């Protein structure tokens, strides 16, 4: 289930503070230098750097 548009507008990457975009079951950092992917579990974004997936 997609996140509410208003919520996605105020969320930012905890590591670099860039905006996030929703893709599948993750929130992806839009920064080219960072690019971390944060999981969304039970419709709740887990914005912890330790839980993020590093870019490939």
Is the pTM of the predicted complex or chain greater than 0.75?
yes
Cβ count within 10 A of residue 15: 16
Ranges of H-type helices in the chain: 5-10
Residues 41, 39: Cα–Cα separation, whole Å: 6
pLDDT in tens, 10-45: 999 999 999 999 998 899 999 999 999 999 999 899
Per-residue pLDDT, 1: 60
| Spatial distance between the Cα atoms of 14 and 53, rounded to a whole number of angstroms | 13
């Amino acid at each position: 289930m997609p996140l509410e548009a208003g919520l996605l507008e105020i969320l930012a990457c905890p590591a670099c503070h860039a905006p996030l975009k929703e893709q599948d079951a993750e929130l992806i950092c839009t920064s080219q230098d960072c690019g971390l992917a944060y999981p969304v579990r039970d419709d709740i974004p887990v914005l912890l750097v330790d839980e993020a997936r590093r870019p490939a």
